[in-house]
Amino acid sequence: MSERVVVTGVGAISPLGLTAEQTWQATVQGQNGIGPITAFDASEFSCSIAGEVKDWDAESFLGRRQARRADRFSQFALVAARDAVADSGLEITDENRTSIGCYIGSGIGGLLVLEEQVHQLRDRGPSRTSPFMIPEIIANMASGLVSIDLGLEGPNIAIVTACATGSHSIGEAAEVIKRGAANVMLAGGAEGAIGPIGLAGFCAGRALTTRNEDFERASRPFDKERDGFVAAEGAGVVVLESYSHAKARGAEVHAEILGYGLSADAFHITQPPADGEGAARAMSAAITSSHLDSTDIDYVNAHGTSTPAGDLAETNAIKAVFGGRIPSVSSTKSMMGHLIGAAGAVELTLCINSIRDGVVPPTINYEVPDPELDLDYVPNVARELPVKHVMSNSFGFGGHNASLIIGAV
C-alpha cells in the first residue's frame, strides 16, 4: 500500500502579499492586486497592467550576493521555500537530507535576465556577457537553488508545463513520496517574467486584456465581458511528507493530497477545445485516484484565467465531470492575475486555507453573467462554507492539464 501524502508547510509570494497568509487574507477580502506596470514603461503595449509583487527587495531577504546571482523567479522560489519549511517545523539535518527532495518548476524561467543580457551583448559585445547568465535563465534553477540553499539531497527535477507547472510539480512530487523515493518533498512553481519581451509576446498572441484604464476590474473570469488574462508573478511552495513521517515528528498537518489527474488536449498550442474534454479527463482522473465521488468535492478552485475560450472550456468540463451536482467554483485569478507557472502552487495554498477556515474565496468582477457560463462562481464576496474536499485545476499552453484534490485530515 502506498504512503499517504500530507501538506505540512506552505509558502507563497503573490501580488496580494509576501506570505501565504497575507495572500489568503487579501483573497478572502476580495482585494485587487493588479495595477499599471511599474517595472518598465509599458505605455506602448496593448496591455500595460499586471499583477506585480509589491515592495519586493530581494537583497533584504537573500543578501546582496545571492540576490544578484538569481533571476527574479528564483528569488521568489527561494523565499517561498524558506517560508514553507519554517511553517512545517521541519529540521533538515545530515541524517535526513538525502530523503528530502525538491520539485519546483517555472513556466517561462529567467526571461528578465535573458532580455537584459541580449541588450548587453548587442551594446557592449560578447566579452561583457555575464558568466551567470545561463545558470540564471534556465527554468530548473529555482529547484536547484532551493536544494543548494536548504541542503536538500533527495530527488530534484523541474517541470515545465506552462500554466500547469505548479500543479504538475506538486502532483509528481506526491508520487515520489508514494513510491517511497523520499520522505519529504518541497514542491511548487515560480514565475517572474513581467518584462518587455514577455509582455510583447503575450500581447502579440492576443492573450491579454486591454482594459488598461479599468485595471481593478480587468481580470473578470467567467464574466461575459472578459477579454483576456492579466499576467502576474510570484511563487508558491508546499512541504509534502508521508503521513507516517509527519506524525512521527509531531508535525501539524494542513491537508492531505488525495488525488492527482493529468491529461493532454492534443488540440492546439494555446487554445483548449470548446468542450473542455481534455480538462474533464484530468479532473475525472483526479477524482478516481482520490477514491472519492464527485459529490464529495465541496469547492473547485478553477483555472479561470478570464479568457473567452478558456473559461468556456473549463465550465463545460466541470459540467461534464460533476453532472447535476456541481460544487461552488471560483477563480482567485480575478484578484491577482495569472501567475503562469506559479499559479497552481499559489492557488493550492489558498485551497488549504479554504479548508482550514471554512471559507470559499470569491470571483471578483463578476458583473455581467454569460448565458453559456451558468455555474455558481461565488460572485464578488467570499462565502462561509464547510469545506472538506477541494479540487484545484491548472491548464497550460500546449494542452497540458492538471487537477489536484486535497482534503482535511
Q: Which residues are catalytic?
A: 163, 303, 338
Beta bridge partners of residue 35, listed in sequence order:
50
Burial status of residue 296 (CB atoms within 10 A of its CB: 0-12, 13-18, 19 or more): middle
From residue 31, how far is each of 80, 197, 336 by CA, in Å? 21, 28, 9
Query: Residues 142, 340: contact at Cβ < 8 Å?
Result: no
Are the C-beta atoms of 397 and 267 separated by less than 8 Å? no
- Closest by Cα among 133, 117, 136, 403 to 288: 403
Residue-level length of the chain: 409
Closest alpha carbon to 39 in 72, 16, 12, 78: 72
d(CA 65, CA 84): 23
Of the candidates 205, 156, 168, 163, the residue with the CA atom closest to the CA atom of residue 314:
163
Cβ 282 vs Cβ 275: under 8 Å = no
Nearest C-alpha neighbor of 139 from the set 84, 191, 201: 191
Q: Which three cell numbers stand for residue 266?
A: 492534443
Q: Which residues in 209-342 belong to E strands, given as ranges?
A: 234-242, 255-264, 299-301, 328-330
- In whole angstroms, what is the distance from residue 348 CA to residue 255 CA? 10
- Taking residue 150's Cβ as centre, other Cβ atoms within 10 Å add up to 18
Cα 207 to Cα 312: distance, rounded to the nearest angstrom: 15
Number of C-beta neighbours around residue 64 at 10 A: 10
Outline where DSSP puts E strands in 75-172.
100-105, 156-157
CB 104 within 8 A of CB 38: no
- Please give the Cα distance from 195 to 111 (Å, whole number): 8
